[in-house]
Amino acid sequence: MSYLLKQLVREWRFLLRQKYLVVLLVCTFVMSGFAVYSGLSEVTQQKQTIERLKAADLTDLTNVQHKYDDAGSLAYYSFHLTYSSPSNLAFAALGERDIYPWKHRLNLLALEGQIYESDAQNAELAQAGKIDFVFVLSALAPLVIILLFHDLFASERTSGRHDLLATTAKSYFALWGARITVRFIAVIICLMLPFYVGAFISSSVLGDVGFITFICVIYLAFWTLLSVWWGKNASSAPRVASTLIGFWVLVAFIIPILGDLAINKVVHSPKGGDIVLTQREAVNGAWDIPKQITMDAFVANHPKWANYTDMQSEFEWKWYYAFQQVGDEKAAKLSHAYQDAARKKYSLAGFVSWLSPPLLLQRGLTRMAKTDAVAAFRYESQMRGFHKSLRTFYYPWLFVKGNPPKAALENMPSFSKTILNEQKKLSNVLAQPEQNLSAN
Amino acid sequence: MSINNFSKVVIVAKDEWRYWFRSKLAMTVLAIGLVLTLASVIVTAITMMELSHSRHELQTSAEQSFVDQPDRHPHRMVHYGHYAFRTPSPLSTLDPGIDAYTGNSIFLEGHRQNSAMFADSRQGTALTKLGSLTPAFIVQTLAPLLLILIGYSAISRERESQTLSYLLSQGTSGATLIAGKGLALISVVGLILIPLTVSALFTLGSGEGLLAVASFVLGYALYLTVWVLLVLLASSVFSKNSGSFTTLAFVWILLCIVIPRVASTTASTASTAVPSAGKIETDFAVKAELRKLGDGHNTNDPAFKQFKQSLLTKYNVSSIDELPVNFRGLVASESEAKLTSVLNKFAQQRMQAELNQTKVSRYFGWVSPMVAIRSLSMIVVGTSIETHHRFLRETEQLRFDFVQGLNKVHVEKLSYQDDMNRNADTAATQKARVSAQNWQILQDFTFNVDTPEVRTQRSIPAFLQLVLWIAVLLGGIKFVGRRLL
């Protein structure tokens, strides 16, 4: 044991004396630290924004409820905040949150006209891409590993020490094993230390942190073994490194780019513009056709209101919201196709990423951090669900009961409550599977 | 430099090419580099032309369907609204820039400024997060790597195989040797730039200015020259091939992969100096200010009392029913104008905040030539954030013009009494309409980027950044060249 330790200590001292290795390791540490720091501040900003929006949203809603009494105007002027909070791991994988929206305000008007609005961040910065822990780990760490390990044998060979070292060392491990181990552990520490600090600050789940560590070690071990193996018999270090970097370019850039081209050729998606155009024609056309046609189309899908479609005037709110919903329903097919295409593209990309370890890692970690496209799709369906619950709330007042008393407004759906209930339901399902089955 | 010296430089350069032809690695790298550049030029050109075509078509059909609407109450058309599509600039076939990251269409209607919808990146595979097959990415990121791979040993190789002292003692000066190796690398740069230049010249046919094309090509030539100089410097400084290579690889990682992202991250998060509030958030402030203006749908809103009084005085009548024009239309027009000025004020602030952020990230061009060429390229091509802002401003003008055009129709062609009675019964609703002829007020819209002069002028800081890099590196090489041995 002490013998092994002695080898490791020797190699460790050796490492510290090689300036370029130390520079490389320090740079790795600084990069990882910067990525975690900026990830943390980005997530804090997002959380603060959501809190500010919640407060402003509530004030706005209260104002509207003071000002209007009839259900139609209330529904027209009340906007409801929906949002998707960053998870505890989001700091490490900011993911697609700069591309997909994570905040929205909705009212009872046609959803298809509202849901594609986006409150995106600065497009030029999004295009450059952000640096986050996942990026450092998946894209940069392999390069660091290549620089650290490619000349393990070649440098000794060119300086003519290789054979001497190999014959005098007690065992293979005592020399190369110890050197590899020391360098590998040093990289892991430089990379992961900032992540652990970040995880502690944002109180991530311990199990997640452990799992991410596990994945990282495997991923980096893959690149280390590749670099060591490729350089085993070589005598020219640059040659080894160029091939390895070439391989990195292949898996990080070329394969994903080709995959992207192929997927975009295979999956056809309706143009987004067509959805809103269809919806708009339907909604605006309603003003020019007899009211009964709209009402019939509405009742066909919502027979519950069949007895309440009579109109006393040329304008009534129930007709107004009915044609909004009919507009949504007319565009539903296109809208579904549009969503399906996005989902299909993302899931097909999953197959491609098996050929590209950096992307596989990115997908895996953004999935864990709930910052990927799947999380964005989920947020979209939460919004759709919430909009549905708004309709469920307003329709009885609009069609049957007339103006809601102020007390009834307390039952107005709010997005925060909706997602809270959803979580509760989910944990109930997980906790009592038998009961759930018997209930079905 | 005398003729004699120059011919020596050419001989050295030729010799370097001979070495490359014999090296499998150099030939493979060169071939891959050229194939990638060529493929990216072709693929991106096709994609962007298709986009341009389809957006043109959508624009025409949007205008057609507006004009084809039946007789209606003019205010219905204000809410029917109009669509504007951002057609990409001709040069965007070489650098699509932010095109996929911002919505490319915008819905224009009364009383609101909507954000652009349907960013293509949201329908993407998330596979191109690290890089995409665009000439911009290939030349900005991968071409430097190519130059490193074939050039890292240019001088250090001679030193390592002990031919350097021989060469120098034969009367070839250090400067000549470096210049010759440099010339060889520059000729590779020329090769890379050929497909780019040809494709850029093609855009002249679709209306691009010569100045923009020239700036674009010059920008990339300067950028790749920076890398040639870096390679020469490292190769001259280090005594071993491996030292030169490792350093260059490290510098490449830093300048091409790390700093551009550090720049954008710093600009958006770390620098709390320029936070940019989202649209939803500013909308609350907008709403608070608008509340003071009154609701343009409601003529009884107390905010319009003074307006009403001034009208009565102007036309010398005692009640609004006696006005020769439609009071509701006037209120709509008046409130739209006021509301727009508020909306524009906030929109202007948002754009300025975004621009400030972008500027922070562009400052990083002083430390990374890659950031410099990235901004230069997007600015000259017309796919930078400024172009998107221009699109937002122009569409806002379009929106305001057609809404006020409809309000004018409302004022002049629809009587106030008919208007007030519009909900009484079906016949009254029919009466409260104007002829579809009036929808012709809509102007044709084609989005054009800023003139080549404006774009080129905007890219001057980025040019300066590249020139500074070249000057510093030339100084360094001159210094090292004297002490080659």
What are the pLDDT digits (tens) for B272-330?
544 566 778 888 888 777 777 766 667 677 767 777 777 777 777 777 777 777 778 78
Q: Is the pLDDT of residue A434 over 50?
A: no
Instruction: Identify the closest residue of chain A to B350 by CA–CA distance.
Output: A122
Classify A117 as helix, strand or coil.
coil
* Residue A126 with chain B: CB contacts under 8 Å: 98, 101, 121, 264
* Residue B374 with chain A: CB contacts under 8 Å: 128
Q: Most B CBs within 10 Å: which of A125, A146, A148, A155, as the mutation test of the B interface?
A: A125
CA dihedral A351, A352, A354, A360 (to 10 degrees): -100
How many angstroms separate the CA of residue A142 from the nearest CA in chain B? Answer: 11
Cβ separation of B101 and A126 shorter than 8 Å? yes
* Residue A284 with chain B: CB contacts under 8 Å: 69, 76, 79-80
- Tell me the residues of chain A between 10 and 39 that have a Cβ less than 8 Å away from chain B: 20, 24, 27, 31, 34, 37-38
Cβ separation of A372 and B126 shorter than 8 Å? yes
* Separation of alpha carbons B163 and B169, rounded Å: 10
Instruction: Identify the closest residue of chain A to B58 by CA–CA distance.
Output: A273
Q: What are phi and psi of B256, to 5 degrees?
A: -95, -30
Lowest mean pLDDT among A168-182, A366-380, B180-194: A168-182
Task: Considering only the beta carbons, identify the residue of A261, A313, A342 that sits closest to B133.
Answer: A261
Tell me the average pLDDT across A147-168.
Answer: 76
Which secondary structure element, helix H or strand E, spans residue A105, and what is its range?
Answer: strand A103-106
Burial status of residue B140 (CB atoms within 10 A of its CB: 0-12, 13-18, 19 or more) = buried
pLDDT number for residue A429: 67
**Residue B455: CB partners within 8 Å, gap ≥ 6?**
B212, B215, B379, B380, B381, B382, B449
Hey, is the C-beta of A323 within 8 angstroms of any chain B C-beta?
Answer: no
* Separation of alpha carbons B199 and B135, rounded Å: 10
- Tell me the residues of chain A between 183 and 202 that have a Cβ less than 8 Å away from chain B: none
Residues facing residue B83 across a β-bridge: B107
Distance of CA B59 to the CA centre of its chain: 21
Task: Considering only the beta carbons, identify the residue of A56, A100, A273 that sits closest to B122.
Answer: A100
What is the C-alpha radius of gyration for chain A, rounded to an integer number of angstroms? 29
Cβ separation of A349 and B125 shorter than 8 Å? yes
Q: Most A CBs within 10 Å: which of B57, B161, B261, as the mutation test of the A interface?
A: B261
Size of interface A-B (CB pairs under 8 A): 262
Cβ separation of B58 and A271 shorter than 8 Å? yes
* Separation of alpha carbons B353 and B262, rounded Å: 19
* Separation of alpha carbons A13 and A18, rounded Å: 9
Domain ranges of chain A: 2-19+134-245
pLDDT number for residue B70: 83
Q: What are phi and psi of A260, to 5 degrees?
A: -60, -45
Q: Which long-range contacts (CB under 8 A, 24 or more apart) does A299-306 make?
A: A301/A329, A305/A395, A305/A399
pLDDT number for residue A438: 42
Q: Is the pLDDT higher at B395 or at A174?
A: B395
DSSP string, B39-103: HHHHHHHHHHHHHHHHHHHHHHHHHHHHHT--SB-HHHHHHH-EEEE-PPPGGGGT--TTGGGS-
E strands in B349-416: none
Which secondary structure element, helix H or strand E, spans residue B146, and what is its range?
Answer: helix B143-151
Distance of CA A41 to the CA centre of its chain: 17
Cβ separation of A135 and B261 shorter than 8 Å? yes
Cβ separation of B357 and A125 shorter than 8 Å? yes
Tell me the CA distances in angstroms from A150 to A382, B51, B244, B298, one per residue in order: 49, 44, 14, 75
Q: Which residue has the tokens 């097919």?
A: A333
How many angstroms separate the CA of residue A233 from the nearest CA in chain B? Answer: 16
**Residue B66: CB partners within 8 Å, gap ≥ 6?**
B77, B80, B82, B439, B442
- Tell me the residues of chain A between 206 and 265 that have a Cβ less than 8 Å away from chain B: 236-239, 241-242, 245-246, 249, 252-254, 256-257, 259-261, 263-264
Determine contact, residues A183/A15, Cβ cutoff 8 Å: yes
Tell me the CA distances in angstroms from A23 to A8, A147, A190, B233, B258, one per residue in order: 20, 12, 12, 20, 16
Cβ separation of A314 and B428 shorter than 8 Å? yes
* Separation of alpha carbons B371 and B257, rounded Å: 10
Burial status of residue B120 (CB atoms within 10 A of its CB: 0-12, 13-18, 19 or more) = middle
pTM of the model: 0.86
Residue A6 in tokens? 């002695």
* Residue A125 with chain B: CB contacts under 8 Å: 264, 267-268, 357-358, 361
Cβ separation of A259 and B245 shorter than 8 Å? no
Max CA pair span of chain A: 102
Which secondary structure element, helix H or strand E, spans residue A436, and what is its range?
Answer: helix A433-439
Identify the CA nearest to B451 among candidates B104, B96, B210: B210
How many residues comprise chain A?
440
Residue A62 in tokens? 């209260």
- Tell me the residues of chain A between 156 and 185 that have a Cβ less than 8 Å away from chain B: 158
For the stretch A256-274, pLDDT in tens is 888 888 888 888 888 877 8
Q: What are phi and psi of A104, to 5 degrees?
A: -155, 150
* Separation of alpha carbons A39 and A261, rounded Å: 30
Cβ separation of A260 and B242 shorter than 8 Å? no
- Tell me the residues of chain A between 106 and 145 that have a Cβ less than 8 Å away from chain B: 113, 116-131, 135, 139-140, 143
Cβ separation of B126 and A281 shorter than 8 Å? no
Of all residues in chain A, the percent with pLDDT exceeding 70 is 96
For the stretch A223-259, pLDDT in tens is 999 988 888 877 777 888 888 888 988 898 888 888 8
Hey, is the C-beta of A292 within 8 angstroms of any chain B C-beta?
Answer: no
Residues of chain B with pLDDT under 70: 1-3, 270-277, 294-297, 299, 303, 424, 485
Hey, is the C-beta of A346 within 8 angstroms of any chain B C-beta?
Answer: yes
Determine contact, residues B470/B225, Cβ cutoff 8 Å: yes
Classify A103 as helix, strand or coil.
strand
List the Cα angle B365/B367/B369 in 5-degree steps: 55
Determine contact, residues B376/B462, Cβ cutoff 8 Å: yes
Q: Most A CBs within 10 Å: which of B57, B60, B127, as the mutation test of the A interface?
A: B127
Domain ranges of chain B: 3-277+348-397+445-481
Of all residues in chain A, the percent with pLDDT exceeding 90 is 12
Determine contact, residues B90/B206, Cβ cutoff 8 Å: yes
Hey, is the C-beta of A348 within 8 angstroms of any chain B C-beta?
Answer: yes
Q: How many CB atoms lie within 10 A of CB B366?
A: 14
* Separation of alpha carbons A327 and A114, rounded Å: 12
Identify the CA nearest to A36 among candidates A130, A123, A129, A100: A130
pLDDT number for residue B276: 61
Q: How many CB atoms lie within 10 A of CB A338?
A: 21
Tell me the average pLDDT across A91-107.
Answer: 85
How many angstroms separate the CA of residue A28 from the nearest CA in chain B? Answer: 11
* Residue B245 with chain A: CB contacts under 8 Å: 237-238, 241-242
pLDDT number for residue B272: 54
Task: Considering only the beta carbons, identify the residue of A37, A135, A346 that sits closest to B126.
Answer: A346
Task: Considering only the beta carbons, identify the residue of A238, A246, A362 that sits closest to B129.
Answer: A362
Cβ separation of B284 and A60 shorter than 8 Å? yes
pLDDT number for residue B295: 67
* Residue A252 with chain B: CB contacts under 8 Å: 130-131
Tell me the CA distances in angstroms from B95 to A130, B88, B214, B380, B396, one per residue in order: 19, 10, 15, 10, 26
Hey, is the C-beta of A99 within 8 angstroms of any chain B C-beta?
Answer: yes
Cβ separation of B54 and A271 shorter than 8 Å? yes
Classify B105 as helix, strand or coil.
strand
Q: Is the pLDDT of residue A401 over 70?
A: yes
* Residue A61 with chain B: CB contacts under 8 Å: none
Instruction: Identify the closest residue of chain B to A155 by CA–CA distance.
Output: B242
How many angstroms separate the CA of residue A429 from the nearest CA in chain B? Answer: 32
Q: How many CB atoms lie within 10 A of CB A240?
A: 26
Task: Considering only the beta carbons, identify the residue of B152, B358, B423 that sits closest to A314.
Answer: B423
Instruction: Identify the closest residue of chain A to B353 by CA–CA distance.
Output: A122
Burial status of residue A310 (CB atoms within 10 A of its CB: 0-12, 13-18, 19 or more) = exposed
* Separation of alpha carbons A118 and A98, rounded Å: 11
Cβ separation of B268 and A236 shorter than 8 Å? no
Residue type, A310: D
Tell me the average pLDDT across A149-168.
Answer: 75
For strands B105-109 and B82-85, give the pairing. antiparallel
* Separation of alpha carbons A27 and A20, rounded Å: 11
How many residues comprise chain B?
485
* Separation of alpha carbons B372 and A86, rounded Å: 33
Cβ separation of B117 and A117 shorter than 8 Å? yes
* Separation of alpha carbons A206 and A89, rounded Å: 11
Q: What is the mean pLDDT of chain A?
A: 84
Cβ separation of A284 and B76 shorter than 8 Å? yes
Hey, is the C-beta of A68 within 8 angstroms of any chain B C-beta?
Answer: no
* Separation of alpha carbons B118 and B96, rounded Å: 16
Q: Is the pLDDT higher at A221 or at B443?
A: A221
Cβ separation of B276 and A253 shorter than 8 Å? no
